[in-house]
Chains A and B, each alone.
Chain A
Amino acid sequence: MNPPAWAQFVLWAVAGENQAEFVAGDLHEEFLLLCAERGPSAGSRWYARQVLRSAAALVGLRFRSGEAAHLAAAALVAVAMPLVLLDRLWSFVYSHIPLKDGLARAPGFLVANVVCVCACAAVCGSLAHTRGRAAGVAVAAAVGAACALWCSTATAPWLYAGLLIVAAPVSSMAVFAWRGWR
């Protein structure tokens, strides 16, 4: 007998690597007792309620332990900030073109953005020591890329936007995996 899979997923997503195992173990133990007393449905409902009501406190714990700071840094400092700065740089370049130009960016500039973001996301991935943390960094990098794209003044093709949002987390996970194989 197992607790609802979605609730377990949410628990591991919010609790972070430092606490998830112990909290999950405690909830599992009490879940089994409740299932024996009141039945699997009641047990599952109790487990889900505990996870949802505990989410805020567990996220707060993550921030205090520094894990959330690493993820936020991965998203903001490593990915979003360079992208925003590059966007401002290209705006500067384009505003200096005599006879002016529009908001569409040359492919070379877009490639430079992707390369830079992949490099920064890879650095963040290299600093993760566990799979859970690496996954968190990858998700944070994708979110950072999406936020920077949203703030961009330029028009960007969908292919570029999709490539950026996918390439950032892939770079991060690839470096983490490569370090594990060495």
Chain B
Amino acid sequence: MPKGEALGEFEYLVMLAVLRLGAEAYGMRVRQEISVRTGRDVTIGAVYATLERLADKGLLRASMSQPTPERGGRAKRSFQLTGAGMEAANRARQDLVNMLEGLEFPLPGGTP
């Protein structure tokens, strides 16, 4: 795989959150999904920067919705994985599985 196509750790988390959320995958929901599942307090800025970067790479596709009152009358930008995004996510998972093969978790001395 050419250098630069591999997903960073946070990029992978964002893509997985987009995958989980389906049609509801927009900034705030992605941020909440990562926060709840990983315990990390991620910022909306970091999420948007990553979403834009993935969109620039062609791994995500953006779509606009109508403004709503609960958003202060502002539009929403939702994201979905593209075909290339699905392939990248599959590859990243396979890389992780290959690296984890033969290792036993939890590792001695670390917290589970």
For A39-62 the 0/1 string (1 means CB < 8 A from B) is 000000000001001111110110
B residues near A53, Cβ cutoff 8 Å: 43, 45
- A77, CB-defined interface residue at 8 Å: no
Looking at chain B's contact residues, the main secondary structure is helix
Closest chain B residue to A59 by CB distance? B45
- B12, CB-defined interface residue at 8 Å: no
- Residues 53 to 106 of chain A near chain B (Cβ within 8 Å): 53-58, 60-61, 64-65
Contact A22 B43 (CB under 8 A): no
Contact A22 B77 (CB under 8 A): yes
Contact B46 A22 (CB under 8 A): no
Q: How large is the interface on B (under 10, 10 to 19, 20 to 34, 35 or more residues)?
A: 20 to 34
Looking at chain A's contact residues, the main secondary structure is helix
A-B contact pairs, 9 of them (CB 8 A): A21-B74, A21-B75, A22-B26, A23-B48, A25-B75, A28-B70, A50-B43, A57-B43, A61-B48
Instruction: Give residues in B with beta carbon < 8 Å to A.
Output: 26-28, 31-32, 43-46, 48-49, 52, 56, 67, 70-72, 74-77
